């Protein structure tokens, strides 16, 4: 059973998972190897590598190299474009940005990267990626990806995007508030998507406490992603991971 099959099996059994996001471009804060070690020790299930401002795959390569030298967790690419694809990753979230106005993020960058993914034998996991604008201040991903705004109250729009992703045959749905978002995706949206779709549900952006993580899991998230908190506060990262690992409905 490979990593993703194992993820699916655990979700089927009602287990919840945590993925740790590392941005290869962000400077400052805790070093990547320390974040990865803390994540692995606490029980996080994978490291995702990517960020909205990645331009050079060498940065991604180096970051993954550091991670691979520090921990044994699987590495999943979380690319902003074909430039985010690096040969030393295990998996790639092969994402369609469901609410972008820019065809690059809907399908063109994916076409650009497809042959590399094949050549480097990186295993794709397709994702219906939905960016939700949770506060007035735009997140980096909203600025760059030219999103068609969906607000944190627009439950129907999100469910519609998620269902479209399911009908396209995607393997998962990702509800994203954007890295460093002031507020995470609303629990109302999460429960609505949970109710109307069957795919594994990934939720990330603005999750900075175990309480928030638990609230999102109770609403129906299967996988919690955190990025920023790991760069700033390893103790809090640990607590969030434990909250996910020992979560009981």
Nearer to ligand 1GP, 9 or 53 (CB): 53
Give the footprint of ligand 1GP on residues 60-99 (CB under 6 A): none
Q: Please identify, among the stretches 83-91, 155-163, 199-207, 213-221, the one whose residues bind ligand 1GP according to the rule CB under 6 A.
A: 199-207
Beta-bridged to residue 56, according to DSSP, are none
Site track 15-44 with ligand 1GP (rule: CB under 6 A), x = hit: ------x-----------------------
Nearer to ligand 1GP, 200 or 206 (CB): 206
| Nearest position to ligand 1GP, beta carbon | 204
Answer whether 47's CB lies under 8 Å from 36's CB.
yes
Give the DSSP per-residue string, 15-30. Answer: --EEEEEE-SS--SSS
49 lies in the binding site for ligand 1GP (CB under 6 A):
no
The 126-165 site mask, x for binding ligand 1GP (CB under 6 A), equals: ----------------------------------------
Per-residue 3-state assignment (H helix, E strand, C coil) for the chain: CCHHHHHHHHHHCCCCEEEEEECCCCCCCCCHHHHHHHHHHHCCCEEEECCCCCCCHHHHHHHHHHHHHHCCCCEEECCCCHHHCCCCCCEEEEEEECCECCHHHHHHHHHHHHHHHHHCCCEEEEEEEEECECCCCCCHHHHHCCECCCECCCHHHHHHHHHHHHHHCCCEEEEECCCCCCCCCCHHHHHHHHHHCCCCEEEECCCCCHHHHHHHHHHCCCEEEECHHHHHCHHHHHHHHHHHHCCCC
Q: Does 206 bind ligand 1GP (CB under 6 A)?
A: yes
By the rule CB under 6 A, 227 interacts with ligand 1GP: yes
Q: Which lies closer to ligand 1GP via its Cβ, residue 64 or residue 237?
A: 237
The interface region with ligand 1GP, picked from 10-18, 96-104, 110-118, 227-235 by CB under 6 A, is: 227-235
| Contact flag: residue 181 with ligand 1GP (CB under 6 A) | yes
179 is an interface residue for ligand 1GP by CB under 6 A: yes
How many residues bind to ligand 1GP according to rule CB under 6 A? 15
Instruction: Please give the residue ranges that form the binding site for ligand 1GP (CB under 6 A).
Output: 21, 176, 178-181, 204-207, 225-229
């Amino acid at each position: 059973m490979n990593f993703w099959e194992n993820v699916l099996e655990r979700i089927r059994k009602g287990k919840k998972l945590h993925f740790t996001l590392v941005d290869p471009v962000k400077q400052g804060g805790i070093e990547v190897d320390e974040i990865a070690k803390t994540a692995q020790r606490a029980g996080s299930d994978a490291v995702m590598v990517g960020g909205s401002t990645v331009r050079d795959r060498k940065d991604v390569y180096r970051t993954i190299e550091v991670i691979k030298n520090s921990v044994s967790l699987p590495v999943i690419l979380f690319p902003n474009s074909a430039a985010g694809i690096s040969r030393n990753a295990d998996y790639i979230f092969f994402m369609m940005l469901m609410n972008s106005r820019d065809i690059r993020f809907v399908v063109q960058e994916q076409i650009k990267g497809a042959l590399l993914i094949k050549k480097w034998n990186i295993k794709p996991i397709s994702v219906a990626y939905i960016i939700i604008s949770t506060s007035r201040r735009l997140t980096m991903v909203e600025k760059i990806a030219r999103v068609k705004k969906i607000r944190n109250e627009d439950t129907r729009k999100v469910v519609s995007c998620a269902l479209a992703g399911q009908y396209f045959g995607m393997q998962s749905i990702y509800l994203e508030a954007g890295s460093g978002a002031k507020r995470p995706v609303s629990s109302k949206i999460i429960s609505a998507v949970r109710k109307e779709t069957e795919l594994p549900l990934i939720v990330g952006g603005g999750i900075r406490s175990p309480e928030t993580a638990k609230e999102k899991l109770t609403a129906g998230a299967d996988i919690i992603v955190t990025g920023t908190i790991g760069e700033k506060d390893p103790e809090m990262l640990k607590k969030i991971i434990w909250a996910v690992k020992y979560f009981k409905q």
